Amino acid sequence: MDLKNTIITASFERYLEGLQHLIFPNVCLQCSYELSRFEKHICAFCWDKLQRTYFEAYEIPSGMDQLFWGRITLSETFALYFFEKEKPIQDILHALKYQFKAPLGRHFGEVMGKAIFNSNKYKTIEALIPVPIHPQKRFLRGYNQSELLAEGMSAILEIPILPDVVLKKANNSSQTRKNRFLRWDNASEQFCLGKRDIPYRHIAIVDDVITTGSTLEAMAQLLRSHYPDLQITLLSFAIAK
């Protein structure tokens, strides 16, 4: 009887799934082709078009390590993909930021977590700190994309997220038209520390995309100024080439 019920339930679930698929077809975010039952958000073909960095396997300093040389001492760095304009990665990051794709963010975080899981370089990280966004922006957007990435990573790496350790101060205007020096100056005034303490020796800052690195540098400097012995690693979904 139990087996019969299980079979009926399972067939009914399959039926509902099929019906849902018919009404809301599950399509690839990038190419709009229908996804198979085993694909999530992006089809295998589009995943293949993204350019992996494989920084997790580097035994020599990566371009990402070098970006921060002379600016801030970091334990390790990692980015999953290279970011290039006019390439699929740009649409994906845009969707993550502006299209209310919370499950997508968590999924990407899981992919990041799986990528570094077996690398010895990241074994001592004890907690994740997502790059904060201004509360007003968070309210309008419904989420903070870096927090979603951190949630996905936290599930895979089994380490906690520390929210509200670093807070975003003001809603600064777009940085795109400023040069690197001005941008750094602006970034150094972007954050302040929250009331929560960091009871760990090694934390990782989580971001969605790194271009000049000025935001992360400012955030890491702020943490270092209050916790001089804190080991800081940067984990990003993408980095500009």
Using CB under 5 A as the binding rule, whether residue 89 contacts Zn ion is answered as no
Using CB under 5 A as the binding rule, whether residue 28 contacts Zn ion is answered as yes
Using CB under 5 A as the binding rule, whether residue 30 contacts Zn ion is answered as yes
Q: How far is CA 23 from CA 16, 19, 200, 210, in A?
A: 11, 6, 48, 38
Q: In whole angstroms, how close is the CB of 215 to Zn ion at the nearest point?
A: 30
Strand, coil or helix: what is 82? Answer: strand
Residue 231: phi and psi, rounded to 5, are -85, 130
What stretches of the chain show up as alpha helix (H) in DSSP?
Answer: 2-23, 44-49, 63-67, 88-98, 102-117, 135-141, 145-157, 180-187, 214-226
User: Which span (29-37, 91-99, 173-181, 196-204) binds Zn ion, by CB under 5 A?
Assistant: 29-37
Using CB under 5 A as the binding rule, whether residue 35 contacts Zn ion is answered as no
Please name the amino acid found at residue 106: R
Using CB under 5 A as the binding rule, whether residue 50 contacts Zn ion is answered as no
Using CB under 5 A as the binding rule, whether residue 46 contacts Zn ion is answered as yes
- What strands lie across the sheet with 202-210, from one edge to the other? 77-83, 231-240, 202-210, 127-130
User: Which span (14-22, 38-46, 150-158, 226-234) binds Zn ion, by CB under 5 A?
Assistant: 38-46
Q: In whole angstroms, how close is the CB of 241 to Zn ion at the nearest point?
A: 22
Nearer to Zn ion (CB atom), residue 28 or residue 112:
28
Q: In whole angstroms, how close is the CB of 34 to Zn ion at the nearest point?
A: 10
Residues binding Zn ion: what is the number (CB under 5 A)?
A: 5
Residue 213: phi and psi, rounded to 5, are 85, 0
Nearer to Zn ion (CB atom), residue 34 or residue 197:
34
Nearer to Zn ion (CB atom), residue 43 or residue 165:
43
Nearer to Zn ion (CB atom), residue 13 or residue 34:
34
In the DSSP assignment, the letter for residue 207 is: E
Strand, coil or helix: what is 231? Answer: strand
- Binder to Zn ion among 37, 40, 41, 43 (CB under 5 A)? 43
